[in-house]
Structure 1
Amino acid sequence: MEEILNQNRDGIKRVSAQLFSLMQLFNCLMIMFITMVTAHAMHGFILEGNAFDLITKCHATIVYWKIPVIAGILYISLLSLLSIECNNHIELIVKLWLEIAVSAGLFYCTGLSYTVMVLLILADIVRNRIDWSKKILYIVLLSCVDLVLNGNVLSGYANPVSVNQIWTYYRPDVASVFSGAINIMFLIDVFIFILYMVFLILEQMSEKERIAALYRELSIANHKLAEANKQLEEYTEELVSAAETRERNRFAQEIHDTLGHALTGIVTGIEACIMLMDIAPDATKEQLKAIEEVARQGITDVRQSVKALRPDALERLKLEDALLKIIDETMRSTGITINYNCTTSLLNLSQDEEDAIYRIVQESVTNAIRHGKADVIDIGIEREDGLLKIKIKDNGIGCGKVYKGFGLHHMQERLSLLKGTLSYDGSDGFTIDASIPIRWGNSAEEKED
């Protein structure tokens, strides 16, 4: 819509400019016609020896060839003034008086027969971008000037070259044709002026319509913006709620990983103590000491989870040392066998990557003991094609159909955040395969080598 309005406005503005240029050209032709015919008639009087009669009729000594030259210079001056754009009231009033003075000179040169230059000045006033109250004042002033010129007031103070007197050189029929031509050209010029004013009004109406359309579009845009802001607020609330939910899930996952692992080790160790209590009291004491250590570590992990949701072992140890520590504690407290084999460096990993690896191993071991009743667990970590691959297999009872519980669900979530994958199989014991895309630094490769 705005584009159509702009095209219409540009088209009207272009026609207005063309009409104003046509007025300037037509006035030039009329002034040159009048002054050239006048000069020709005066030259004829001189050639026929009737210069005395001419001087007597005009009451002045006249140099005929100067009339078109002076008129041409004055009209060029008028066009130059019309081309000047005014930015304020003072500039416009100075320009207006200069244009009136030049128009008076042209009126004199044309023998008081042509005042249509006033229409050019009027068109120039109307097209200026100033307040209409000042425009009306200028139009009234220009109308008064036009009345003065057409009322032959100047003839009382000067001896103008009268066209009616000069053109008596021609036969009456020829002079009549010339006068009729001037009247026709005058009417054409007035018609062009009226047409110009019509298009100027259309241009202003188009501008107002464009502004109104822009205002409507702005109102619609503001309404849409308000709706978008409302939707954004709702979406923000949803994001906050989702973030709170994710945080609760993460916290639940951390508690599950820490407490679940510790409690599983404690329960399994106590079961072993019950069986050993009567037959091996000393071994039972050692087992209870290991259980105590696991319980204390579990309490520490819970506190750390609440504090920063990061395993305490990873706060104090490097990742591989933390894995070895949890494996050793689990074997001591439960009596099961855990085979650990890592063929790649675990240095220069991000905190999220370290947390994920640690929790996958911890949760897998816990599930193998709690659900699988395993007594042998194999843990393998290797690097292949930019992936860190973790494989954990136990010799437990397995399961025909795997139901993704809390532990597997959170493993999947951790890996998804790292763009990793998780797969599992319960047909022969239980096997977990995890892959994490890792970009190792040079330092890690050098240490590995």
Structure 2
Amino acid sequence: MFLFWRIFLLNAAVLVTATGVLTLGPVTVSTPVLLTEALVVTGGLGAMLVIDAVLLRVGLAPLDRLAHAMTTTDLLKPHPRPAVSGRGHIPELIRAFNRMLDRLEAERGLSAARALSAQEAERSRIARELHDEVGQTLTAVLLDLKRVADQAPEDVRAELRQVQETTRAGLDEIRRIARRLRPGVLEELGLTSALKALTAEMSAHDGPTARSRFDQDLPALGEEKELVVYRVAQECLTNTARHARATHAELSLRRTGAGVELLVRDNGRGLRGAEEGAGITGMRERALLIGADLEIGPAEGGGTVVRLGVPVGAP
């Protein structure tokens, strides 16, 4: 039954019932209307309005829940689907909305997977070019500077040594950037070693003091999930170093009943109601790709805590 006819028949039933009560009941209306008669008619009208409002509220409650779901649904933060309830076309409308959400999430996941795959490929290409081309060029410059410095006069040699140190520092920085773009340690030594290298690198470059803890019996996650865990941890530590004004950060990876949980906590200034930027959006997209749960919120005692729950099994 269409919604129009449902509302019309509900109102008609209330009016017919009220008409029958006034027609067959002992109450009559005279001219002019007496006070008692006016009170009876007013009370009857109020009762009709109350009954009509209650029936409409009950009948349209599923639509109110559906409208709330439409305004609050975020494809990056999956929530339970609206419960299918009601009569007539309302359940089919809710089912259609749920099917639309499923389709949108699948399409967004597919497009995000393609974009992230292209991003990883581009990162690997840039890392190779930095290492193979720029790195080799700077290495050749260092060798030339050493040769020139050995043959230069004493008063020029000190300046050339300084240029050598500056060039060597630039070469180290390029190698560090290349490692961040393409985590070779993740491919060669595994996730735990890669996360340890992340925290060590953060502490070594004048960042907050970082500490890491890992369970001993961590299950194998697979290449895709390990890359997501690594990128999320990398983004968290980068945000901590750049924006949090923290003095300490802690990273842990522990086993849970459903899989593993990555926890990154700092003692910085916290989120303070700031809108989520591209970095957090990227973390949410990566988490969706592998069916992981990502939670970002304030930490106890101040700061920010990020939890990534990764299930074991097929994404």
Q: TM-score range by the shorter chain?
A: 0.3 to 0.5
Bigger CA radius of gyration: 1
TM-score of the aligned structures, taking structure 2 as reference length: 0.46
By percentage of residues, which structure has more helix?
A: 1
